[in-house]
Structure 1
């Protein structure tokens, strides 16, 4: 029997009650008399997260998230699916089974995300349908190929039809889509959106029936801008380990209230709303629902005192009471063909050129396009540190030998180079720096270690190994966060001004998010949905 002041997410009322539990389910909820200080809420649900972006395996993620009141997540494993295919999804499902946290997955809809980059796998409509037939796979993952939906592409529609046949929702991903094209997108059956960056965009999509996810992750944070809109879910999308150790859904709830969201509404956005949308047997303190509950101090600070999953205490006063068990499997694919530093150069016969430059914004995954005049020395277009224009290169990791080069603004690096095998969504190797020799050296380190994040200077280096598909560590959140902090400190010493440089860099190759991106086959205009030349004219 669990007693305290409960929040009824159906009525919005708070009253003293006792909750009777049997076999992991709530059997009865009775009003009682009493003066209780604790407040009992349904367990928190993160309705949209990519576990791989935490650089942790599901079981390690759970050990860090549960003490913050998270009892369930809806995870889209399209990162590992783009590298390892169905085998990668199977790994996530198997590893997640070693933890009390309830992992629900979506079937990755866009593997590869676009036909304009090299990926490690391609999931067919048949494979998608096989995944959707599993109880733990609750939706078709974010449909990033919105041009394919709008044009009625046969392969895209087969995947959507598979979800409809099995009565499972389809998640959306269509940043800035509007008007008639948005009507066509939603009309195909897309039910959610997590890429809204303005109240006007969220309102238009909500008016057409989409459920809006207010996102507050490590790199993309839209909650403050969307707080005035009547959003449906609170989500993290992508969260780094240090941020996860400091808070998960509890922190997002705290910020929602701070930004003006009604506290009861905020709790509904993190409990009953996602549970009902994805047909999860959780999200409310009511008979028949799973006994997943969180004891907090109040509806402002959301300090978590105790966490129950299936009626069992799994965390208390910030401490996880279980033991993380990670499935340690040698699972990777890193086949970088030998290349030279000269392969990372942009060439020109002119003395000076106008170059297209990717413009990054701290805290956002959208980018802009700048045009900058750059000098040419000995046929090589040079970066310009005075303009904060650096070099960026993407190197294919799947044995095809593709390399593309361009320029980026906004990192602030004064020297050295950074590189990563985390580069959404195909996860080819991406590197940013001033000097091609150092950029090559950074990539060579990743090639030797099997993947991860690295920063190098003329006489020093820092590495975070990610042996699971080049995306995840087999260590715990504390270990990964400590090494990540050391890595970020080193990058700041090199002059970087971004709050999350590696996460920001990882989104430079995301060819479905406006405006200018770069993949292993070239510079890509998302607005025009085509490759463009680095040098203008």
Structure 2
């Protein structure tokens, strides 16, 4: 029996109750007399997150977020699915099942995300149908291929049809989509969007019936811009381990209320709303639902004192009361050793005008600019003084592709950085000042079976992510410590970005405008086509 001040998300009342639980399920709630401190809330649900982006295995992720009041998540495993397909999704399910955290999944809709990159797997309609049979799979994952939806690509529409056949919703991903194209996208049966970055964009989508997921992650911070839109969900999408140590949805709730959102409205966005949308047996305290609940001090700071999942106390005073032992996974890297010449753009002229990827701090979006670069020994040169650096993507699934381009916004004055976290196909992305440093960084990363690397003044620093090149088996604290060391190294190299590695990871994401890069070349997202690095 659990007693306290219930925050009722159905009626928006607050009153003392005793909650009866049997076999992890709430059997009855009775109003009682008494003076209790704190408030009992439904456990928080993150309705759109990629666990892989925390760089933690699902079990280590649970260890980090449950003490912050997160009792359930709807995870889209398309990161590991792009690397390993269904085998990778099964790994996520099996590792998650070793913890109290309720982890629901969406079936990744876009593996690969586009046909313009090399991934480690393909999930077609047959695989989607099989995944939808699993009760833990509650939706079709974000439909990033919006041109395919609008253009009525048969395979894309078949995946949506399969989801509807299983009576499961389809999550959206439609950055900056508007007007007739947006109408066509919604008409296909897509109900949510988490990619809004502008208030007018979110308002248009909401007026057309979409449910808006307001994203507050490590790289994309959209809450302040969208707080007044009246969205249905507060989500993380991608959150790094050092940020998870500070908080998860509890921190997002604090910020939302501080920005003026009504506490009850904010609470519903991480409890009742996702539960209703994804047909989950949690997210509200009612008979027949899982006894997932938390005790907080107040409804402004949302400081979490206790966490129960299925009626069992699983965290207290910010500490988990369970232990984890992450499952191992085989290596996924098949990469030949690289040399400096692999990272050169050739030219027969003395200088060339080139397209440049323009980084936008705090956004997944990029812009396009141009620069005139000099040529030495038939190779175009980076210009660190103007912050025009080399960027390359090295394919890691055995085909040996390497593509090269230029980028502005990282500020490196020396060395190179590399990562095998490169959405969505997770090839190796490298940014640097010289080809030799880039080759050293890429080779060290391959040797580590994935992770993050920085090369500076002949020294090499790294964080190993051996689980599909995406995740570590270490704790959030240990991963954060190594990542913070790498951030310090990169700052010393001249980079002033808040999350340089997460920002770099999205430079290969071909479904977010404007200019990105894959292992096959420089890509114009708005035109949905490859473009030359050198402008004619």
TM-score (norm 1): 0.99
Report what 1:159 is aligned to: 159
- Structure 2 match to 1:506: 505
Aligned to 1:495: 494
Take 2:369 and 2:259, find their aligned partners in 1: how far apart are those partners?
Answer: 32
The aligned counterpart of 1:52 is 52
**1:231 alignment partner in structure 2:** 231
Unaligned runs of 5+ in 2: none
Mapping of residues 226-265 of structure 1, within 5 Å: 226-265=226-265
1:533 equivalenced with 2:532 (yes/no): yes
User: Residue 464 of structure 1 corresponds to which residue in structure 2?
Assistant: 463
Distance across 1 between alignment mates of 2:339 and 2:121: 27
Encode CA deviations 1:433-480: one digit per residue, 9 max, x unaligned. Answer: 101100000001012121110001122121101111111111111111
- Cα offsets for 1:186-223 (capped at 9, x unmatched): 00010110000011111111111111001111111111
Secondary structure of residue in 2 paired with 1:523: strand
Q: Deviations over 1:337-376 (max 9, x none)?
A: 3442112111212222211110111211110101112222
More divergent stretch after superposition (499-508 vs 442-451): 442-451
CA deviation after TM superposition for structure 1 residue 378, in Å: 2.2
Q: Secondary structure at the match of 1:93?
A: helix
What are the Cα deviations for residues 408-455 of structure 1, in whole angstroms up to 9, with x where unaligned? 111111111000111000011110010110000000101212111000
Aligned residue for 1:239, secondary structure, equals: coil
1:311-349 deviations in whole A, cap 9, x for unaligned? 11000000100001211232x321113442112111212
Once the two structures are superposed, residues 57-91 of structure 1 have per-residue CA deviations (whole angstroms, 9 ceiling, x without a partner) of 10110011000000000000000000011100010
Deviates more, 1:41-50 or 1:343-352: 343-352
Deviation at 1:112, TM superposition (A): 0.3
CA RMSD of aligned residues (A): 0.9
1:117 alignment counterpart: 117
Match of 1:295 in 2: 295
SS for the counterpart of 1:485 is helix
Worse-matched range after superposition: 335-344 or 76-85: 335-344
Question: Is residue 348–residue 376 contact of structure 1 (8 Å, CA) maintained in 2?
Answer: yes
Match of 1:318 in 2: 318
TM-score by length of 2: 0.99
Aligned to 1:483: 482
SS state at 1:508 partner: coil
**Structure 2 residue aligned with 1:208:** 208
Distance 1:307 1:60 in 2: 17
Q: Does 1:340 align with 2:336?
A: no
* Superposition pairs of residues 263-282 of structure 1, within 5 angstroms: 263-282=263-282
SS of 1:509's equivalent? coil
Residue 195 of structure 2 is matched in structure 1 by: 195
Partner of residue 400, structure 2: 401
* CA–CA distance in structure 2, aligned partners of residues 457 and 424 of structure 1: 25
User: Are residue 36 (structure 1) and residue 28 (structure 2) matched?
Assistant: no
The alignment partner of 1:323 has SS state of: coil
SS state at 1:478 partner: helix
Q: Which consecutive residues of structure 1, in runs of 5 or more, have no partner in the other structure?
A: none
**Runs ≥4 residues deviating over 4 A:** none
CA distance in structure 1 between the partners assigned to 2:144 and 2:388 by the alignment: 29
Q: Is the 8 A contact 1:438 1:458 kept in 2?
A: no
* 1:519 corresponds to: 518
Residue 437 of structure 1 aligns to a residue whose secondary structure is: helix
SS in 2 for 1:467: coil
1:126 has 2:126 as partner: yes
Question: Secondary structure at 1:455's aligned position in 2?
Answer: strand
Q: Which residue in the other structure is 1:370 paired with? A: 369
Correspondence for 1:357: 356
User: Residues of 1 paired with 2:249 and 2:324: CA distance?
Assistant: 20
Report what 2:305 is aligned to.
305
Q: 2-side partners of 1:442 and 1:499: how far apart?
A: 21
Q: Give the C-alpha shift of residue 95 in structure 1.
A: 0.6
Counterparts of 1:339 and 1:197 in 2: how far apart (Å)?
Answer: 38
The alignment partner of 1:41 has SS state of strand
Partner of 1:382: 381
